[in-house]
Amino acid sequence: MIAVEVVFWACAAAILYTHAGYPLALRGLLALRRRPTLRPGTWAEPPTVSLIVAAYDEQEVIAAKVADALALEYPRERLQLIVASDGSTDATAERARAAGADLVLELPRGGKTAAQNAAAERASGEILAFSDANSAWAPDALRHLVEPFADPAVGYACGQVRFLDQAGDNLEGAYWRYEMSVREMESGLAGVTAGNGAIYAVRRAAYLQLGPAGSHDLSLPFLLAKRGGRSLYVPWASAEEKMVPGIEGEFARKRRMMVGLWDIVVGEGMLSPRGYPLLYAFEVVSHRLLRYATPFLHLIVFAANLALLGEGWVYAVTLAAQAGLLGAALLGRFLPLAPLRVARYYLLTTASIAAGLWDRLRHGPGGRWEKAAGTR
């Protein structure tokens, strides 16, 4: 039973570490070794920027998005606005042109990444900025977003997205605040391990053409790190986006996102240590690989706990704690109590990783995208 005990405690410790211990470890490392993350205000003049919005059937919001982009506090002659319509079947392209987009690409349906790749090929800016069609940027967001690129070592920068939960029944906003605090510490240590689709930018010379299952959010930061580039978080470059209604809706959104995850982890090389700086490798293992392993670690912990019943009272307590988490998650569907809803959110978001792998094994890597209901 000693081997089973070792497996049980090692897997349980890994779960606790990736969710709670890692932020504490980051704080400790930053106290010992802090690098300057930004050198704002060192551009002789603002760089030219191509702002790319990939869109699929976004006729309801695309005109507002174009207006939002054109209202940014950035020299208009140095800003190119590109809308890449990914096989839209509605009036997305027509409304984008009418609203004043500089370039509208009407592309065959190939997925978000394919649309972004096509737009990047036609872009003229020194910096490529990207936004979702339903994201609203603060007027000064672009100006702040490009500041880090004055440092030639910086290849990628992401801003802060605030999720609007009008119904108050999705905990993604609370989780995202935790994630942003971790991201800010990563940025100060070795670079962020992921971005977000609402507001980010890439140096044109550093842009990488990704495959259909690739994701700028997850792929670009670690791939650039392997090439010697830094990826930073710029919290004062802010955007807002509507949240998916309900925890179940959030589960469905994350499940779709996780389908391509495994191609990124294995196929694109996130799992391979080759090329990582030491501290960035620490971040990837702690924040990404262990987090993505969490649903499988939970299954191992549960199975090992069952095998260890009768080996001491502590294993009865740990099994009861796991059963309590499951029970709270089930009750969270019917009782709007905060602890129960937190348990349900944790269970479903963790399960979405395994569900995405199941979908990947059944249907392939995909690459197509759908709008999340209620976010427009």
Task: Give the pLDDT band (50/70/90) at residue 338.
Answer: confident
Residue 286's pLDDT is 98
pLDDT in tens, 147-171: 999 999 999 999 999 887 655 555 5
Who wins on pLDDT, 174 or 23? 23
Who wins on pLDDT, 233 or 257? 233
Task: Give the pLDDT band (50/70/90) at residue 283.
Answer: very high
- Contact present, 80 and 101 (Cβ < 8 Å): no
pLDDT beyond 80 at 175? no
Structural domain range at position 59: 49-246
Q: Tell me, yes or no, whether 65 lies in a domain.
A: yes
Average pLDDT over residues 257-267: 90
pLDDT in tens, 78-105: 999 999 999 999 999 999 999 999 999 9
Total domains in the fold of the chain? 1
Residue 309's pLDDT is 94
Q: Which residues contact 161 (CB under 8 A, 6 or more apart)?
A: 135, 176, 196, 198, 199, 238, 239, 240, 241
Q: Tell me, yes or no, whether 109 lies in a domain.
A: yes
Tell me the two tokens of residue 319: 């099994």
Say how far apart CA 347 and CA 324 lie, in whole Å. 12
Average pLDDT over residues 300-305: 97
Q: Which residue has the tokens 């090439």?
A: 227
Neighbours of 289 (CB within 10 A): 15
Q: Tell me, yes or no, whether 24 lies in a domain.
A: no
Q: Which residues contact 73 (CB under 8 A, 6 or more apart)?
A: 139, 140, 142, 143
Residue 171's pLDDT is 59
Q: Tell me, yes or no, whether 254 lies in a domain.
A: no
pLDDT beyond 80 at 172? no
Mean pLDDT of the chain: 91
Instruction: Provide the total of helices (H) and of strands (E) in the chain, helices listed first.
Output: 14, 8
Say how far apart CA 13 and CA 8 lie, in whole Å. 9
Q: Tell me, yes or no, whether 266 lies in a domain.
A: no
pLDDT beyond 60 at 198? yes
Q: Tell me, yes or no, whether 41 lies in a domain.
A: no
> Residue 186's domain is classified under what CATH number?
3.90.550.10
pLDDT in tens, 287-301: 999 999 999 999 999
pTM assigned to the model: 0.90
Q: Tell me, yes or no, whether 156 lies in a domain.
A: yes
| Cα dist from 263 to 29, 180, 285, whole Å | 31, 25, 17
- Contact present, 246 and 170 (Cβ < 8 Å): yes
Who wins on pLDDT, 83 or 360? 83
Which run of H or of E encompasses 322?
helix 313-331
Q: Which residue has the tokens 């980010």?
A: 200
Torsion, CA 194, CA 364, CA 367, CA 282, rounded to 10: 10
Residue 81, burial from CB neighbour count under 10 angstroms (0-12, 13-18, 19+): buried
- Contact present, 194 and 221 (Cβ < 8 Å): yes
Average pLDDT over residues 5-20: 97
Q: Tell me, yes or no, whether 374 lies in a domain.
A: no
Say how far apart CA 143 and CA 137 lie, in whole Å. 11
Average pLDDT over residues 129-157: 95
Classify the C-alpha dihedral 231-236-239-240 as positive or negative.
Answer: positive
